[in-house]
Amino acid sequence: MVVIDGKKVAAEIRKKISAEVDKMILRGERRPHLAAVLVGDNPASQTYVRNKVRACDECGFSSTVVRMKADVSEDELLEKITELNANPEVDGYIVQLPLPPQICEQRVIEAIDYRKDVDGFHPMNVGRMSIGLPGIKPATPQGILMLLERYGVETQGKHCVVIGRSNIVGRPVATLLVQKALPGNCTVTICHSATSNLKEITRLADILIVAIGVPHFVTADMVKDGAVIIDVGISRVEDGDAPRGYSLAGDVDFENVKEKCSHITPVPGGVGPMTIASLMTNLLKLRQMNDNQK
Ligand code: GUN
């Protein structure tokens, strides 16, 4: 059994990006610049944005965090988005989700200029990905594909079962893996909260991707011998022994499932670091795409 080391692969990717940025600087070009809009004080969102800023530093990107209060109005946020769209110094930006309830997430996502949509959430980017056109792909699904490729996991003709149908992970990873391209060319099944015979389906999976945010949901009896397990979940669970009072748990019962599978991603240190490395890849790509349009 192989434990897939997302932390290591993500570090390799950041190193490659940093070498690219060094070349840009030598050519006298401006550093790629990522902005992150952080609304409110959700602790997990704060951690994610902090990690994204750190990754920017390691890649040689500049970064700006735009902080807005939890009670900000949708109009104020949309005004900030208009500003970021118009700012020629910002190559790409994210609006960290979730947003407070007074704000319509979809309206915000659609206000982002798709040429600065480093998350790949804008309908233009989602649509292009769906029909196999080049563009910005969502960070977590792209990071998962990078891991499968890096670890030589064969995908062609394999049955991939995805648990979860979110716009951020479940649907787009299914879209990418069903495409006639590699990694991909899988037979894909998407399972969700209304799936009635879940265990029967997951036991057919050669590749099982779990993205529902329910700690330890996938148990060993749900997994076929030799399957490849990709755990996207990362939940904070109370833990009196942990220094911060909580520990991080994936959607997979790692200790028991690891005995049955061929490959498995740990939590933390699996998909999480790849999401951020993939976001960095997207920023460099956006910069190069936008430079070519000038
Ligand atoms: N919240 C959870 N995952 C993500 C992500 O990939 N991007 C953004 N912007 N917010 C998130």
Q: 20 vs 30, 52, 261, CA distance in Å? A: 12, 18, 37
Q: Is the pLDDT of residue 129 over 80?
A: yes
Selected catalytic residue, list 91, 119, 206, 251: 119
Ligand 1: atom nearest CA of 94 is 9
For residue 52, indicate whether it is catalytic: yes
Fold of 139-272: Rossmann fold (3.40.50)
Structure tokens, 197: 């015979």
How do strand 235-238 and strand 246-249 relate by DSSP bridges? antiparallel
DSSP H helices in 96-242: 105-111, 123-130, 139-150, 170-178, 198-202
Domain spanning 28-113: which superfamily?
Answer: Leucine Dehydrogenase, chain A, domain 1 (3.40.50.10860)
How do strand 235-238 and strand 187-191 relate by DSSP bridges? unpaired
Residue nearest to atom 3 of ligand 1 (CA): 97
Q: Render pLDDT for 23-68 as a digit per residue (tens, 0 to 9).
A: 999 999 999 999 999 999 999 999 999 999 999 999 999 999 999 9
Residue nearest to atom 11 of ligand 1 (CA): 97
The span from the CA of 80 to the CA of 100, in Å, is: 16
Q: 217 vs 48, 192, 193, 213, CA distance in Å? A: 23, 12, 12, 9
Show me where the domains of the chain are located.
28-113, 139-272
Ligand 1: atom nearest CA of 279 is 6
Q: Render pLDDT for 86-120 as a digit per residue (tens, 0 to 9).
A: 999 999 999 999 999 999 999 999 999 999 999 99
Structure tokens, 199: 């265990």
Selected catalytic residue, list 80, 96, 137, 231: 96
| pTM beyond cutoff 0.75 | yes
How does residue 2 score in pLDDT terms, banded at 50, 70 and 90?
very high
How do strand 92-95 and strand 33-39 relate by DSSP bridges? parallel
For residue 71, indicate whether it is catalytic: no
Matching fold, domains 28-113 and 139-272: yes
Q: Is the pLDDT of residue 294 over 90?
A: no
